[in-house]
Amino acid sequence: MNVEEFLKAAENGDVTIVFEKINGGGIRKMHCTLDTALIEHKMSGSVASQRPENDHIVVWALDRDAWRSFRVSTAIEWYEGEPK
C-alpha cells in the first residue's frame, strides 16, 4: 500500500480502505476521509501530521461519524469513493 497516495487522496476527499480487523478477525470496508471540508470536528495535531512510515493511520470514518484507525500492515486495498 502506498501510504503517501492514500493520505493525499483522503485529504482531498473520501476514500475506502479495506483491511483485516485485528480484534476478532474479519474484513472491514471503511468509508473515510481526512478532508477538513467533510469533517465537522476539529482535527488534532497528531492526525494532521501523520507520516507515511507509520503503521497506524487515523481517519474520520464517514459511516460511523467518528475517528477510527487501522494498521497499514493489515490493509488489503484502498480506492477513492464509497465502498463497492
Mean pLDDT of 49-62: 85
Domain holding 39: CATH number? 2.30.30
Does residue 43 register a pLDDT over 90?
Answer: no
In this prediction, residues 39-54 reach a mean pLDDT of: 70
DSSP the chain: --HHHHHHHHHHSEEEEEEE-SSS--EEEEEEE--TTT--SPPPHHHHT--TT-SEEEEEETTTTEEEEEEGGGEEEEEESS--
pLDDT tops 60 at residue 46: no
Question: How many domains would you assign to the chain?
Answer: 1
State the pLDDT confidence band at 49, using cuts at 50, 70 and 90.
low
Give the residue with greater pLDDT, 1 vs 50.
1
Q: Is the pLDDT of residue 50 over 80?
A: no
pTM, to two decimals: 0.86
* Structural domain of 56: 3-80
